[in-house]
Amino acid sequence: MKIRETPIQDLLILEPKIFKDPRGYFFEIYNQKTFSPLGLDLQYVQDNESFSNYGTLRGLHFQKGAYAQAKLVRAVQGEIWDVAVDLRATSPTFGKSFGTRLSSENKNQFFIPRGFAHGFVVLSESALVCYKCDNFYSPENEGGIHFADPDLAVDWIIKPEEIVVSDKDRENPSFRSIREQL
């Protein structure tokens, strides 16, 4: 497995070694022996899956305090633009975002540690996204930031008029209004 660092500390792109032959392909999604020496030896307790159509934007979501989650995200089918925003108040990249393309073609995974908001937009006709979490979802400790927050200026790759978002995500607060609570 090849590990690519990003401009934001601890945010990683994982490129699996893919074994192909005339029958198809094989690769490891997760192997504790591989991840442990990288400091990614987490106990994953929840796997999530979502199916979405083109332009669907899910995010920016996070879990607060002791309920924060590290995530290992991948696109099983289709293609997404996956984004993480650093919410670690003491980080030199606090409030900065990083995005990467995840697809069924490149088979990359995005490791997002605790202390980040996460979201993605579907770039293909549809996408099936799976992610492992190291902490259970807690509705009472869920937080969100508006996907089009001007202070974050996240580039979602597609035209704003093509974005489809839930009412809940459309009503998320601004980064500025919650940053003191982080």
104 token code pair: 């069924």
Which one-letter DSSP state was computed for residue 78?
S
What's the Rg (C-alpha) of the chain? 16
Catalytic choice (25, 44, 67, 131)? 131
Question: Token pair 């030896």 is at which residue?
Answer: 41
Q: Is 131 a catalytic residue?
A: yes
121 in Cβ contact with 81 (< 8 Å):
yes
Whole-number Å distance between alpha carbons of 51 and 77:
9
Catalytic choice (54, 61, 118, 137)? 61
Which residues are designated catalytic?
A: 61, 131
